[in-house]
C-alpha cells in the first residue's frame, strides 16, 4: 500500500529567492577551478557555502513548521 503524501507547501517569493541564491552560489563554485584559488579565496568560498547551507536548513525548518498540524517550530 502507498501512503498518501501531503501536497507540497507553497513557498513565498523570499523563500524561492533564497533557494535561487543558494543554487547560484553552488553552480558558481562548481564551475570554479579551485586549484587556482588562493587560500583566502577558498576560505571565502567555504564560508559562503556554509552560510547558504545554514540558510537552507533554516528554510526547511520554516516550511516544516508551517506544514505541521501543531505549528510547532523545531528547537535548535
Q: Where are the domains of the chain?
A: 13-66
Tell me which residue of 29, 12, 30, 19 sits closest to 55, measured CA to CA: 19
Contact assessment for residue 66 and residue 9, using Cβ atoms and an 8 Å cutoff: yes
DSSP assigned state of 1: -
Kindly give the confidence (pLDDT) of every residue in the chain, 76 residues in length, as a single tens digit, with 9 standing for 90 and above: 556 666 677 899 999 999 999 999 999 999 999 999 999 999 999 999 999 999 999 999 999 888 766 555 455 5
Q: For the chain, what is the radius of gyration of the CA atoms?
A: 17
pTM, to two decimals: 0.71
Amino acid at each position: 500500500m502507498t501512503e498518501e503524501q501531503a501536497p507540497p507547501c507553497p513557498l513565498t517569493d523570499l523563500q524561492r529567492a533564497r533557494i535561487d541564491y543558494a543554487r547560484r552560489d553552488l553552480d558558481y563554485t562548481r564551475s570554479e577551478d579551485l586549484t587556482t584559488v588562493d587560500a583566502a579565496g577558498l576560505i571565502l568560498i567555504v564560508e559562503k557555502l556554509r552560510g547558504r547551507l545554514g540558510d537552507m536548513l533554516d528554510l526547511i525548518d520554516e516550511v516544516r513548521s508551517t506544514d505541521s498540524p501543531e505549528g510547532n517550530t523545531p528547537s535548535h
